[in-house]
């Protein structure tokens, strides 16, 4: 499975990437929203996206991903706990929303 990971916290990004790769996934990780956006059409099977990232926020990326992929799972990982933002993510097609902090096993 090919996964796009967008997380601007370098330590968390590396931790998630390492854990998923050890489980057999191919992970392409980004810390910048624009870089992730530039690569969303490269045949990913899953997207793991933080909301508050540099340049292009995760909600804009979520919307753009849904233009290209109707059924590919999108998991939002965010420290944002505002109900209206969580609802907006689901309205735009996210499949799950994990609030930080979370267990890496929960994400997997």
pLDDT band at 108 (very low <50, low <70, confident <90, very high): confident
Helix and strand numbers, DSSP H then E, in the chain: 5, 5
pTM across the whole model = 0.94
The answer to whether 92 and 59 have CB atoms below 8 angstroms apart is yes
Three-class SS state of 59: helix
**Tokens at 20, concatenated:** 């998923």
In 3D, which of 43, 34, 45 has the Cα closest to residue 75? 45
Tell me the C-alpha distance between 48 and 60, whole Å: 14
Tell me the pLDDT tens digit for each residue of 60-70.
Answer: 999 999 999 98
pLDDT band at 56 (very low <50, low <70, confident <90, very high): very high
Average pLDDT over residues 37-44: 94
Average pLDDT over residues 52-76: 94
Longest dimension (CA), the chain: 35
């Amino acid at each position: 499975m090919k996964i796009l990971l967008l997380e601007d916290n370098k330590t968390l990004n590396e931790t998630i990437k390492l854990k998923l790769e050890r489980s057999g996934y191919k992970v392409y990780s980004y810390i910048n929203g624009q870089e992730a956006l530039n690569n969303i059409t490269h045949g990913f099977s899953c997207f793991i996206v933080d909301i508050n990232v540099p340049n292009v926020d995760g909600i804009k990326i979520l919307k753009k991903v849904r233009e290209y992929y109707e059924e590919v799972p999108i998991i939002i990982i965010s420290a944002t706990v505002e109900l209206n933002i969580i609802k907006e993510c689901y309205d735009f097609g996210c499949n799950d929303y994990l609030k930080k902090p979370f267990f890496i096993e929960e994400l997997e």
